[in-house]
Amino acid sequence: WALMHEDVTAIRALKRARNAIILAHNYQTPEIYHAVADIVGDSLALAREATTTSAAVIVVAGVHFMAETAKLLNPGKTVLTPDSRAGCSLADSITPADIRALRAAHPGIPIIAYVNTSAAVKAEVDYCCTSANARRIVEHAAHAAGTTTVIMLPDRFLAANTARETEITIIPWTGACEVHERFTEADIAQVRAQYPGVTILAHPECPEPVVAASDFSGSTAALAAYVTEHRPARAALITECSMADNIAAANPATEFVKPCNLCPHMKRITLANIRHALETMTETIDLDPGILARARIPVERMLAIP
Ligand code: 13P
Ligand code: SF4
């Protein structure tokens, strides 16, 4: 605790000295989320907030694609990642060459990339989306292109879960989140049997039968908002474990029950390496100017859709 307190004090002083802010994803540990973050949220909120800050330095407490997104929206600012090895199984599942091959195979069909992709992949696509706006972007992209089909990648489960909500045909890719793909329908049945009356909230990166067996599905911010609004006596957040830890204090009327899974990539970010990033001003996110300019377009298109 003493070490943690020392890191928190140092980080707060460094933020003032460097004119820096910390953007933290909802899966960061509670000490990051509550003690040092300036903005917390889902991927969409972090991208939006990255466009409004006047700080000179942005530290992204999240995985690499989130830091790249902050950089491409703020090319003139210093964007720091506390650990550049914090990857994502979804971002790793597809390359720019894969996108070019998909485009050649499906001419005229709009391509939507989940925000969980590299900047190099975003540079090849038409729209970006997050779990908070997937259906809206799918429908907008199809309408704008005059088609009834879109390609949505790389998460096959997000594609299947979005397809359940729309008339548009979605051509998926094969990627999956290594954290969410492990949840099963049997897990849901077991929680319901063990905790009568439990409300089950699942992230749409979970397999389709898991989402179908749940009471509500949405982005991490939508799951948190559901708990705050409905105040269930018991809730199971079928997602990364820090989610429930982070919102428990603000929702004392709700008992949070398991299962949850840890994301090893999100967990690479610690108070110690956030402090180190601000002390040394490393590691910076540096993108090829050509990739940055092209990757920005699908993200800005997404942000322009209300
Ligand atoms: P959201 O916070 O946008 O719902 O995304 C979840 C996730 O897995 C990010 O990596
Ligand atoms: Fe990627 Fe899944 Fe971790 Fe999110 S939880 S960063 S999608 S591996």
Q: What is the pLDDT of residues 144-180, one digit of tens each?
A: 999 999 999 999 999 999 999 999 999 999 999 999 9
Could you give the angle at the alpha carbon of 141 between the alpha carbons of 138 and 142, nearest 5°? 85
User: What whole-number distance in Å separates Cα of residue 258 and Cα of residue 50?
Assistant: 33
**Atom 3 of ligand 2, nearest CA residue:** 263
Same domain, 193 and 161: no
CA–CA distance, 139 with 161 (Å, rounded to integer): 14
- Spell out which residues line ligand 2, taking CB within 6 angstroms: 63, 88-90, 116, 177-179, 205, 240, 263, 265-266
Q: Which bound ligand lies closest to the C-alpha atom of 131?
A: 1
CATH of the domain at 68: 3.40.50.10800
Q: Is residue 247 part of a domain?
A: yes
The whole-number average pLDDT for the span 117-141 is: 98
Nearest to 71 by CA among 147, 62, 275: 62
Residue 168 lies in a domain: yes
Q: Are residues 26 and 37 in the same domain?
A: yes
| Residue 184 placed within a domain | yes
Two tokens, residue 51: 């466009």
CB of 285 closer than 8 Å to CB of 69: no
pLDDT, average across residues 246-260: 96
Specify the pLDDT at position 2.
Answer: 78
Domain boundaries, position 125? 91-177
Note whether 77 and 106 are same-domain residues. no
CA distance 236 to 216: 11
pLDDT band, residue 306 (cuts 50/70/90): confident
Q: Which residues share a beta bridge with 238?
A: 202
Any domain includes 299? no
CA 7 vs. chain centroid, Å, equals 26
Q: Are residues 211 and 251 part of one domain?
A: yes
- pLDDT average, residue stretch 225-245: 98
**Ligand 2 site-directed mutation target among 85, 90, 173, most atoms within 8 Å of CB:** 90
Q: Provide the pLDDT for residue 28.
A: 98
Same domain, 228 and 256: yes
Burial of 82 (0-12, 13-18, 19+ CB in 10 A): buried
Sequence-ordered list of residues with C-beta below 8 angstroms from that of 9, at least 6 positions apart, any chain: none
Q: Structurally, how many domains does the chain consist of?
A: 3
- Which of 179, 183, 219, 269 most suits a substitution to test ligand 2, by most atoms within 8 Å of the C-beta? 179
Q: Which atom of ligand 2 is nearest to the CA of 27?
A: 5
Largest CA distance in the chain: 60
| pLDDT tens string 258-270 | 999 999 999 999 9
- Please state the atom number of ligand 1 nearest to the C-alpha of residue 180: 8
Residues 8 and 60 in one domain: yes
DSSP E strands in 130-261: the ranges are 149-153, 169-171, 199-202, 216-217, 234-238, 255-257
80 lies in the same domain as 98: no
pTM above 0.90, yes or no: yes
Handedness of CA 66, 72, 73, 75 (dihedral sign): positive
Alpha-carbon distance of 162 to 157, in angstroms, equals 8
Q: Is residue 293, in this structure, part of any structural domain at all?
A: no
What would the pLDDT profile of 22-38 be if each residue is shown by its tens digit? 999 999 999 999 999 99
118 lines ligand 1 (CB under 6 A): no
Residue bearing the CA closest to ligand 1, atom 3: 43
Asked, for residue 300, whether it belongs to a domain, the answer is no
